[in-house]
Structure 1
Amino acid sequence: MSLKNQVQLITYPDSLGGDLKALKEVLYSRFAELFKGGVHILPPFPSSGDRGFAPLTYLEIDQRFGTWEDIREIGEQFDVLVDLMVNHISQKSEYFQDFLKSGRSSQYSDLFLTLDKLWEDGQPVQEDIDKMFLRRPLPYSTFQIGDNDTQESVWTTFGKTDPSEQIDLDIRSEMTKQLLASFFRNFKKYNIKIVRLDAVGYVIKKLGTSCFFVEPDIYDFLDWIMELAESLDIELLPEVHSHHSIQYKLAEHGYWIYDFILPYRILEAITNQSSTALCDYLQTRPAKQFTMLDCHDGIPVKPDLDGLLDTKEAKKLVDTCIERGSNLSLILSEEHKGEDGFDVHQIRCTYYSVLDRDDDAYLAARAIQFFAPGIPQVYYVGLLAGENDYERAKATGDGREINRHNYTLEEIDQSLQKPVVQRLLKLIRFRNSYAAFDGKFEVKVSSTEEVRLRWDYNDQYCELLVDLNTKRTTIQYIDDTNSVIEYTV
């Protein structure tokens, strides 16, 4: 399939009305013409934690949200995107639970990376571990097997507990490939059109390397899974948070990538009233990207923008974000902090709040996002110009929940009446329908206090002008009667 160059929605299965049936009703009745690009439903599968990102299986839907039939029905009108945590699966999955019961005699034992698959005698070598990009103190966890004294250590890249809740899959195993193929076939059965490969950068474990985005091995795996997806008419979106050069390598190999740099660059331009860094970036970035301002985590900073930031200026911007109510996710490992100690991983907030709830500034940010080449995604809280949910963050103890408010149907309808939301909906309709967005993109010469972006296609064009001082945003375009129209966003 080919992806639609139109706006997509990102939402949890229970965040717009309470479950998948409510989500379908909201999409059909309120947003039927808005999200022609599709809808990214964050993990609706049975999960043991991390708000869905520790799935037990991809063959079932969590009963609290609904059924696969609900997903299939949404997929009749919208291209549905779901996540596949391709690197690992939950400790609570039937596969690993059977391994805990039977150890090496488990029918599923070959799914997992016991240490003898890496070290000949199964004994870890610290010299090898020292070279690895670690997400926890040790890259493996030790488990008690059955009722006897047997223990097994298996690879666990992620996890805040010891032993970890997330168990890595051995992607070299034929059994793992068969399991992944069964997940993809099930996705196809229920109208899934796009699969985001979460944590794909960690799938290759190879001694003597960082075990992160190991080249060229990573491309062998991606080529295999791409062939599988294409055979089922499913598009892939690899998700890699790392130095931007890795994203560019993926783009060079023809894969869709995420623009994790754009949200910060737009925030920086609007807050500091300077377009220089943003316009420089827009002239050099790959075009085959999914764009975003906000998501279920936060605005990316490190490592995505490593090598691109003046950390003194970044600290000032981060301080402004904190003044406006944001909280921060920090880099934990010392070796990945900046030399000056700058350690901000993500800025957690709603994008509307971080722009000080300024309607014009927020619409300017969305307009720049929509004019940047790529498929724009709008997070559900951003769609409704939601503000920081401090109570939810405090109640859950998770700073990310500041931007994860669950809306009732009544709250959705109230939010839709807000002028800033009505203006955003109009902008989305323009982005979806104007033909020039399939043409040629240009960053126009402008003052440092302006952003000028243009699209041309045959006899049509549209040109965006953002005045960073006044936050006034206008779009000039040619309509169907060949008249020049100026539209104030």
Structure 2
Amino acid sequence: MTHHGPQLITYADRLAGDLPGLRALLDGPLAGAFGGVHVLPFYPPYDGADAGFDPRDHTQVDPRLGSWDDVRALADGRTVMADVIVNHVSADSERFVDVRERGEESPHAPMFLTLGSVFPLGATEEDLARIYRPRPGLPFTVMTLGGRRRLVWTTFTPDQVDIDLRTPQAWEYLTSVVDALTSGGVSMLRLDAVGYTGKEAGTDCFMTPATDAYTERIVEQAHARGAQVLVEVHGHHTQQIDIARKVDLVYDFALPPLVLHALTTGELEPLAGWLRIRPANSVTVLDTHDGIGIVDVGTSDLRPGEPGLLAPEKIDALVERIHDNSGGTSRQATGAAASNLDLYQVNCTFYDALARDDRRYVLARLLQLFVPGIPQVYYVGLLAGVNDMDLLARTGVGRDVNRHHYTPAEVEAALTHPAVAAQLTGLRLRSSHAAFAGEFAWDVDGSRGTFAWTAGDERATLAFDAADGSFEVRATQDGAERVVLTSAALG
């Protein structure tokens, strides 16, 4: 396995104000913990309808955050990952504004999807009911294009207009995005919402053969420019295994709910079952800018008849436990309770999902750090953040509970938190210890487990008990094994 250091996932503005501020944090108090950083969308407007996932200009850095020179400076000595938003652009983007004004007369008209683009002969009720969408309702918004009322394809929100990857216009656009990012110092591209790109009549319009072809084409472009590709898809766990064979990296979205299940029930077998089959070329996460994925461990309409990693009643119990652990705050941010809703996610910080239990929380992070793959740590999770109910009240967007805007004083205070200091100790070990470039072995027995990495004489081990959250991390140093971290230090 190639040794990949942990990466931080963050918005530049919500953690550090801007890109130079983010670099100062990574070179300063966070030095030695991260080998890379996934900077969430920094394109104009980074504070749009979907926190930057609705780019008006995907080839520029929002000047309020900095410049391409700042991105290149951030990439000096570390990996920078950025999003290629493959499925859609802002309804206010220059190209789509032109289509609104001129309709079919616009040279950009073929780039945007309408109902008729996919169903030129019209769509039946069955066709429409089959379309897979992570939100209630149909993925269309009535808009006037060149004086004609049209049903424009909007998978996520009316502010995000889907593009037609069957057209040269779409590829000219996407190539310009890949060029801008890679010339700006970005060496890992995260393909956002790529599963929705392969819309075809007679299918559910999700993860179709066309999606594979588009993904392959972007992977080829990225590789030609020296970049790697991470594909972001929520779905049945067998889909991740399939996708992993075709791309550089996939997310391990099954890990967070399985870790939560283990640490709230003491039952390790579902996690062990996943460890036996999961792809090694994974990016591991606990929390991200989106919610905690539940669909990733359950059954799926996309794979009928195939069981999930957790039985339905265990998933229901887990969701209820998260809501209880968070004092009910996650319930107010999840599903039908909040707009812009993702039906397959629970919106909650990971710290609140574990009832702010420092031992279990740090153990969750250590489990992530010891599992093979590239660990990515979300900024709110790193700082042991709690649900931001004020932000939720202001925006009505469920995922905002886990997207706090930190002031410099809040960051400074959080860095003194025992659970934050312990995570940083674990991250620095994962970043620097030679054992993690070697072989991984694991063993579980009841609620107890051992995860170990060995490279020659170098060794790092995590021994833990999921029932009480106790753990001990040991690692070799100068030929002798020493204790690096223990739950006893967290009270």
TM-score normalised according to structure 2 size: 0.90
Relative distance call for 1:262 and 1:274 in structure 2 (3 A) is same
User: By how many angstroms is 1:4 displaced?
Assistant: 5.3
Within a 5 Å distance, the mapping from 1:7-18 to structure 2 comes to 7-18=6-17
Q: Distance in 1 between matches of 2:372 and 2:83?
A: 23
How many residues matched?
467
User: By how many angstroms is 1:77 displaced?
Assistant: 3.2
1:215-247 deviations in Å (ceiling 9; x for gaps): 2x3222111111100111111111001111211
Q: Distance in 2 between matches of 1:281 and 1:222?
A: 25
User: By how many angstroms is 1:6 displaced?
Assistant: 0.9
Contact 1:16 / 1:26 at 8 angstroms: preserved in 2?
no
1:263 to 256, 266, 288: 256
Contact 1:243 / 1:303 at 8 angstroms: preserved in 2?
yes
Q: Distance in 2 between matches of 1:69 and 1:45?
A: 14
Question: In the alignment, what sits opposite 2:355?
Answer: 356
Contact 2:274 / 2:309 at 8 angstroms: preserved in 1?
no
User: By how many angstroms is 1:108 displaced?
Assistant: 1.1
Question: In the alignment, what sits opposite 1:42?
Answer: 40
Question: In the alignment, what sits opposite 1:201?
Answer: 195
User: By how many angstroms is 1:213 displaced?
Assistant: 0.4
2:330 to 312, 327, 332: 327
Contact 2:89 / 2:162 at 8 angstroms: preserved in 1?
yes
Question: In the alignment, what sits opposite 1:458?
Answer: 456
Q: Distance in 1 between matches of 2:401 and 2:140?
A: 32
1:111-143 deviations in Å (ceiling 9; x for gaps): 11244433345x333332233214453343332
1:16-48 deviations in Å (ceiling 9; x for gaps): 232222222222222232211x10111111234
What's the secondary structure of 1:130's corresponding residue? helix
Paired residue type of 1:426: T
User: By how many angstroms is 1:476 displaced?
Assistant: 3.0
Question: In the alignment, what sits opposite 1:76?
Answer: 76
* More divergent stretch after superposition (228-237 vs 454-463): 454-463
What's the secondary structure of 1:363's corresponding residue? helix
Matched, 1:252 2:245: yes
User: By how many angstroms is 1:75 displaced?
Assistant: 1.5
Contact 1:136 / 1:158 at 8 angstroms: preserved in 2?
no
Relative distance call for 1:416 and 1:330 in structure 2 (3 A) is closer
Q: Distance in 2 between matches of 1:451 and 1:229?
A: 39
1:55-78 deviations in Å (ceiling 9; x for gaps): 112112223322222222212232
What's the secondary structure of 2:376's corresponding residue? strand
Relative distance call for 1:284 and 1:91 in structure 2 (3 A) is same
Q: Distance in 2 between matches of 1:300 and 1:379?
A: 14
Question: In the alignment, what sits opposite 1:296?
Answer: 289
* More divergent stretch after superposition (446-455 vs 205-214): 446-455
What's the secondary structure of 2:290's corresponding residue? coil
Relative distance call for 1:392 and 1:430 in structure 2 (3 A) is same
Question: In the alignment, what sits opposite 1:153?
Answer: 151
Relative distance call for 1:3 and 1:388 in structure 2 (3 A) is farther
Contact 2:462 / 2:473 at 8 angstroms: preserved in 1?
yes
What's the secondary structure of 2:14's corresponding residue? coil
Question: In the alignment, what sits opposite 1:278?
Answer: 271
What's the secondary structure of 2:213's corresponding residue? helix
The alignment-based identity, stated in percent, is 36
Q: Distance in 2 between matches of 1:254 and 1:331?
A: 31
Matched, 1:480 2:473: no
Contact 1:301 / 1:344 at 8 angstroms: preserved in 2?
no
Relative distance call for 1:100 and 1:429 in structure 2 (3 A) is same
User: By how many angstroms is 1:425 displaced?
Assistant: 1.0
Matched, 1:393 2:392: yes
User: By how many angstroms is 1:330 displaced?
Assistant: 5.7
Paired residue type of 1:288: N
Cα RMSD of the aligned pairs, angstroms, is: 2.1
Contact 1:435 / 1:460 at 8 angstroms: preserved in 2?
yes
Paired residue type of 1:206: E
Relative distance call for 1:449 and 1:194 in structure 2 (3 A) is same
Relative distance call for 1:150 and 1:275 in structure 2 (3 A) is closer
Q: Distance in 2 between matches of 1:118 and 1:414?
A: 52
Q: Which ranges in structure 2 are unaligned for 5 or more consecutive residues?
A: 300-307, 337-341, 487-491
Q: Distance in 2 between matches of 1:283 and 1:401?
A: 34
Question: In the alignment, what sits opposite 1:33?
Answer: 32
1:384-412 deviations in Å (ceiling 9; x for gaps): 11222222222222222221111111211
Contact 1:279 / 1:451 at 8 angstroms: preserved in 2?
no
Question: In the alignment, what sits opposite 1:338?
Answer: none
Question: In the alignment, what sits opposite 1:170?
Answer: 164
Relative distance call for 1:356 and 1:118 in structure 2 (3 A) is closer
What's the secondary structure of 1:382's corresponding residue? helix
What's the secondary structure of 1:113's corresponding residue? coil
Question: In the alignment, what sits opposite 1:308?
Answer: 309
Q: Distance in 2 between matches of 1:315 and 1:175?
A: 45
Q: Distance in 2 between matches of 1:441 and 1:241?
A: 26
